[in-house]
């Protein structure tokens, strides 16, 4: 198996080589977008936060933006700030630069306004783009890959076909020395004890059970019955009857390997193996957290069908529903519905997904990438003030 990627100064590898334009707050998002629009290889994050946030949320936003800048798929970073937001633009740029990347920042209020900032930003980004374009792929090892595991728009075929096939790939990667990140705390409810039995220590098991309990308690404090939103209307139409049934299917994405650790939202794993990240069940916020945690690639199963992508990492779409694949073939990369039809086994489809993943690591575009799907969202803990 021959893999090639981009070797970063801090030892992390990338499978893409983007110039990332990060607005430190929503007020800088338009300038960031306008710069990225005019520079080859640049992508801008449509960050809607960073201002009027209290510390817990501000910490999450900072950690997420910094993690995305440090992701191996990023070759250089330009941070754009307004100048009066809660999130410190210079501190964010300094934190990302600790990865050894070329990082610069620009403040709109100091630059003389949006047009002046845009002009200065374009000059900086043009130089960065040329620098990034000179970087070449080099041999990498599969053990250097961090894989994000996601599901959305689930139906009965997800837990029966697509998720177990994804779990097969996760197991194979972990056995090869790599790292997988399972997500969506909400969708562990009712099945958390099963995953906890695979924890490598009592501490890991206790932490897993704690984040699920805190998720339930948060809903109770808000006077919300999770059964009103989980399963979703689409899940129910797709044949899922209870949150426990959905959760039992969801954990199949994590395969059968031991659970090595539990991560905060957007936290980078400190070791190899299977990890659980404390994310919401909302697909886009969940993917953003895992990619900020270092995932260079994401596998995303969907029974009902979704086009979701990511600005930083390629997302491979898998469905276990043959009808969904027929209707949304332009968005779905892998048809795991052949398992439901009795034409292929979970292992056979798992190998197909593995082969697709290797091709994508080596540069092949996913359908979400080819269609420029770059959905983005950061998890919020509380209200904006």
Report in angstroms the alpha-carbon separations of 343 from 122, 284, 385: 53, 32, 55
Identify the pLDDT of residue 154: 78
Question: Token pair 């990667």 is at which residue?
Answer: 173
Range of the domain at 39: 3-138
311 and 342 part of one domain: yes
Mark which of 114, 138, 162 sits at the end of a domain: 138
Whether 188 contacts 195, CB under 8 Å = yes
Average pLDDT of adjacent 10-residue blocks, the chain of 385 residues: 94 98 97 98 96 93 98 98 96 98 98 98 98 97 98 85 96 98 92 94 97 88 66 62 66 94 97 97 96 98 94 97 95 96 97 98 98 96 80
Please name every residue paired with 318 in a beta bridge, in sequence order, or none if there are none.
Answer: 301, 334
Identify the pLDDT of residue 227: 56
Please name every residue paired with 20 in a beta bridge, in sequence order, or none if there are none.
Answer: 43, 77
Report in angstroms the alpha-carbon separations of 214 from 39, 55, 211, 219, 298: 44, 19, 5, 9, 26
DSSP 3-state of 176: coil
209 and 298 part of one domain: yes
- Candidates 81, 56, 54, 67; CA nearest to 12 is 67
Q: How far apart are CA 302 and CA 299, in angstroms?
A: 10
Question: Token pair 């704690």 is at which residue?
Answer: 210
301 class by beta-carbon count within 10 Å (0-12 exposed, 13-18 middle, 19+ buried): buried
216 and 361 part of one domain: yes
- Candidates 280, 325, 273, 279; CA nearest to 301 is 325
Task: Say if 381 falls within a structural domain.
Answer: no
Cβ neighbour number for residue 381 with a 10 Å cutoff: 13
* φ, ψ for residue 337, nearest 5 deg: -65, -15
Whether 333 contacts 318, CB under 8 Å = yes
188 and 99 part of one domain: no
Task: Say if 76 falls within a structural domain.
Answer: yes
171 and 133 part of one domain: no
Task: Say if 378 falls within a structural domain.
Answer: no
* Total-model pTM: 0.94
129 and 149 part of one domain: no
What token pair was written down for 24?
């430190």
35 and 177 part of one domain: no
180 and 224 part of one domain: yes
Could you tell me where the beta strands, DSSP code E, fall in 110-265? 138-140, 146-151, 179-182, 259-263
- Candidates 9, 8, 25; CA nearest to 17 is 8
Domain count, the chain: 2
- Candidates 228, 256, 254; CA nearest to 242 is 228
12 and 103 part of one domain: yes
Whether 183 contacts 148, CB under 8 Å = yes
Please name every residue paired with 44 in a beta bridge, in sequence order, or none if there are none.
Answer: 21
Identify the pLDDT of residue 69: 98
Task: Say if 70 falls within a structural domain.
Answer: yes
- Candidates 233, 234, 238; CA nearest to 159 is 238
Q: How far apart are CA 212 and CA 87, in angstroms?
A: 29
Task: Say if 385 falls within a structural domain.
Answer: no
Identify the pLDDT of residue 217: 87
Task: Say if 104 falls within a structural domain.
Answer: yes
DSSP 3-state of 92: helix
167 and 81 part of one domain: no
77 and 226 part of one domain: no
Instruction: Check which CATH number belongs to the domain holding 109 and give it.
Output: 3.40.50
Q: How far apart are CA 35 and CA 38, in angstroms?
A: 6
What token pair was written down for 182?
């399972």
């Amino acid at each position: 198996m021959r893999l090639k990627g981009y070797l970063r100064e801090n030892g992390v590898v990338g499978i893409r080589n983007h110039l990332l334009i990060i607005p430190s707050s929503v007020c800088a998002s338009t300038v960031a977008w306008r710069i990225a629009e005019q520079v080859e290889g640049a992508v801008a994050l449509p960050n809607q936060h960073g201002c009027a946030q209290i510390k817990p949320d501000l910490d999450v936003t900072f950690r997420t933006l910094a993690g995305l800048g440090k992701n191996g798929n990023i070759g250089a970073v330009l941070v754009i700030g307004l100048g009066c937001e809660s999130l410190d633009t210079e501190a964010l740029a300094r934190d990302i630069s600790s990865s050894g990347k070329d990082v610069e920042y620009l403040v709109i209020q100091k630059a003389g306004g949006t047009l002046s900032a845009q002009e200065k930003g374009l000059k900086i980004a043009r130089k960065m783009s040329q620098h990034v374009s000179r970087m070449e792929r080099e041999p990498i090892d599969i053990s250097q890959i961090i894989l994000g595991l996601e599901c959305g728009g689930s139906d009965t075929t997800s837990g029966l076909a697509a998720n177990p096939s994804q779990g097969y790939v996760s197991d194979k990667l972990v056995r090869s020395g790599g790292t997988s990140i399972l997500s969506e705390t909400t969708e562990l409810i009712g099945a958390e004890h099963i995953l906890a039995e695979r924890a490598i220590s009592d501490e890991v098991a206790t932490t897993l059970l704690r984040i699920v309990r805190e998720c339930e308690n948060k809903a109770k404090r808000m006077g919300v019955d999770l059964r009103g939103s989980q399963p979703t209307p689409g899940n129910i139409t797709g044949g899922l009857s209870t949150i426990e049934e959905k959760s039992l299917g969801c954990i199949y994405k994590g395969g059968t390997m031991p659970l090595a650790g539990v991560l905060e939202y957007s936290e980078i794993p400190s070791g190899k193996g299977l990890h659980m990240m404390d994310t919401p069940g909302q697909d886009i916020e969940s993917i953003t957290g895992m990619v900020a945690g270092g995932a260079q690639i994401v596998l995303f199963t969907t029974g009902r069908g979704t086009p979701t992508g990511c600005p930083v990492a390629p997302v491979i779409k898998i469905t276990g529903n043959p009808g969904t694949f027929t209707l949304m073939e332009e968005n779905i990369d892998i048809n795991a519905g052949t398992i439901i039809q009795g034409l292929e086994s979970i292992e056979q489809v798992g190998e197909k997904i593995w082969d697709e993943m290797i091709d994508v690591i080596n540069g092949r575009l996913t359908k979400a990438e080819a269609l420029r799907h770059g959905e983005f969202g950061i998890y919020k803990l509380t209200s904006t003030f």
